[in-house]
Amino acid sequence: MAANEVLATIKKRRSIRAFQEKQITEEELQTVLEAARYAPSAGNQQLWHFTVIQDQQLLAELNVSAKAGAAVIDNEHIQQLAKNEKFNIFFGASTVVLVSGKEDGLEIESDCAAATQNMLLAAESIGLGSCWVDLTLFAFLGEKSEYYKEKLGVPAGYRPFSSVVLGYKKVEAVNAPHRKEDVVNYIR
Ligand SMILES: Cc1cc2nc3c(=O)[nH]c(=O)nc-3n(C[C@H](O)[C@H](O)[C@H](O)COP(=O)(O)O)c2cc1C
């Protein structure tokens, strides 16, 4: 099998769920954001928007709101997480990037997912820990939606599709969760 740095980064990247308090550098942040902007997008529309949140008080508020939203949805696992007082949806990461997309984009959910994945890989490639966190979206349910969209500067006509937490890893992840192998068929 081929081996190179990109493939090594893809295989090494893990969802990191424990972070040091120290803030990442501006250069690290910009590296990750640039990777997001270089993602493919349907029709090259690039109808995404990124909100960098490094205000720890706002992150604490979003954590509480997201958990309140998650606590009432019809999923036992998510409900349990939401009701656990000690659980922080951002895992103490000092930076969160919210990924929003223009709702009438051609394939906006895919575009935002591509940008999100690029950020995870870029983060790993420069030694940062990251995790794709969609629990954040529960903060935008119902009446809270407009309040947070305004507070976070999400442009009109856009809505959040994902978020990425970034920071220095507390510990290196060792074991990758099992990968299914029986997921390909070949027609040759
Ligand atoms: C669409 C999507 C949403 C996710 N949301 C969360 C989340 O809210 N919280 C979390 O801890 N992990 C979340 N994850 C991370 C997955 O749990 C993780 O990718 C999976 O368990 C595989 O582990 P790995 O990333 O270390 O390979 C999400 C991943 C994806 C693709």
In sequence order, what DSSP letters do the residues of 56-86 get, joined into one string? HHHHHHHHHHHHHHHTTSS-HHHHHHHH-TT
- Pocket residue to mutate for ligand 1, from 88, 133, 163, 172, most atoms within 8 A of Cβ: 133
Residue linked to tokens 């935008």: 140
Ligand 1 and 110: CB distance under 6 A: no
Residue 179 located in a structural domain = no
Evaluate whether residue 181 is within a structural domain.
no
**pLDDT above 70: percentage of residues in the chain:** 100
Q: Tell which one of 124, 131, 161, 179 to mutate to probe ligand 1, the residue whose CB is within 8 A of the most ligand atoms.
A: 131
The reported pLDDT for the residue numbered 107 is 98
The atom of ligand 1 lying closest to the CA of 116 is 31
Q: What local confidence, expressed as pLDDT, does residue 143 receive? A: 87
Neighbour count for residue 54 (Cβ, 10 Å):
15
Domain that holds residue 91: 16-167
Domain-located, residue 10: no
Weakest mean pLDDT among 69-73, 93-97, 170-174: 170-174
C-alpha 83 – ligand 1 centre gap (Å): 19
Whether the per-residue pLDDT at 174 is higher than 90: the answer is no
Q: What is the mean pLDDT of the chain?
A: 97
- For the CA of 89, the closest atom of ligand 1 is 9
Distance CA 146, CA 36 (A): 25
Q: Name residue 53's beta-bridge partners.
A: 96
Within a domain: residue 24?
yes
Q: Give every strand in the sheet of 158-167, ordered side by side.
A: 48-53, 95-102, 158-167, 129-132
Sign of CA dihedral 79, 57, 86, 23: positive
Place 61 in a pLDDT band, splitting at 50, 70 and 90: very high
Mean pLDDT of 14-29: 97
The helix (H) or strand (E) run that includes residue 95 is strand 95-102
Contact 96, 13 (CB under 8 A): no
Residue 173: per-residue pLDDT: 85
Question: In a 3-state reduction of DSSP, which class is residue 105?
Answer: coil
How confident is the model at residue 142, as a pLDDT?
A: 87
> Quick one: which atom of ligand 1 is closest to the CA of 177?
23
Q: Is 135 part of any domain?
A: yes
pLDDT tier at 52, thresholds 50, 70, 90: very high
The CATH number linked to 66 is 3.40.109.10
> Which tokens go with 82?
């939401």
Query: Which residue's CA is the closest to the ligand 1 atom numbered 17?
Result: 15
Query: In this structure, which amino acid lies at residue 41?
Result: S
Does residue 24 register a pLDDT over 90? yes
In the 3-class helix/strand/coil scheme, how is 158-182 assigned residue by residue? Answer: EEEEEEEEEECECCCCCCCCCCCCC
Structural domains of the chain, count: 1
Query: Is residue 98 assigned to a domain?
Result: yes
Choice between 82 and 143, residue whose per-residue pLDDT is larger: 82
SS3 percent helix, strand, coil of the chain, rounded to 5, is 40, 15, 40
Within a domain: 3: no
Q: From atom 20 of ligand 1, which residue's Cα is the shortest distance away?
A: 15
59 pLDDT above the threshold of 90: yes
Is 91 inside any structural domain?
yes
* Tokens 């501006």 belong to residue: 26
Q: How far is the CA of 15 from the centre of ligand 1 (A)?
A: 6
* Probe residue for ligand 1, chosen from 15, 19, 174 as the CB with the greatest number of ligand atoms within 8 Å: 15
